[in-house]
Amino acid sequence: MTEQDFKSATLEAFLLRLCNTCESLEAKLSNQSTKEVPAWCTLAQAAELKGGTTAKNLQKRKWQQPCCGTQFKLLNGTRCWSRSQIIRWLEVTDNTLESYASECGVDISAYFRNGKTVTSKEA
């Protein structure tokens, strides 16, 4: 075995381990994301899943809630969204919020002035 063959075999083994590690991590993340989302989520649970926000902030900004504050079901008097709605909402970023709102049938242009967001009280 030449030195070049040895280096090729070493590199090939490393790449195989790297691919296996990536596949393992993807599987863990995939399982984790669907296992953590309950069948029905309250606003507080949704905020915790989303991270970077609180239920109190989302209460002020309905356009940032799951389904832009619409399409919820009342369970024991609490607004809840289904797992599929929450998973879709978790994918929404600031850049995709406007298209997401239109999917939900909500016009959010009233919540933006000069490129800045305003609370529902100010709108």
Could you tell me if 21 and 55 lie in one domain?
no
Look at residue 5 in the predicted model and tell me its pLDDT: 86
CA–CA–CA angle 51, 32, 40 (5° rounding): 70
Look at residue 10 and give its three-state secondary structure. Answer: helix
22 with 50, same domain? no
Please give the structure tokens belonging to residue 43.
Answer: 């606003």
**Domain assignment present for 65:** yes
Residues 5 and 54 in one domain: no
Q: Which helix (H) or strand (E) holds 92?
A: none
Question: What tens digit of pLDDT does each residue of 45-88 get?
Answer: 999 999 888 999 999 999 999 999 999 999 999 999 999 999 99
Residue 113 is predicted with a pLDDT of 60
**41 neighbors 86 (Cβ within 8 angstroms):** yes
Residue 113 backbone dihedrals phi, psi, to 5 degrees: -130, 125
The domain in which residue 82 lies consists of 40-117
**pLDDT on residue 119:** 57
pLDDT at residue 22 in the model:
78
Please count the structural domains in the chain: 2
Say yes or no: 24 and 77 in one domain.
no
Q: Do 62 and 109 belong to one domain? A: yes
- Among 75, 113, 76, 49, CA closest to 66: 49
Q: Whole-model pTM?
A: 0.64
Based on the domain organization, do 47 and 92 belong to the same domain? yes
Shared-domain flag, residues 61 and 111? yes
Whether residues 57 and 9 share a domain: the answer is no
Q: Kindly report the CA angle at 47 between 92 and 111, in degrees rounded to 5? A: 60
How far apart (Å, rounded) are the C-alpha atoms in residues 100 and 106? Answer: 9
pLDDT (tens digit, 9 = 90+) per residue, 101-112? 999 999 988 776
Domain assignment present for residue 70? The answer is yes
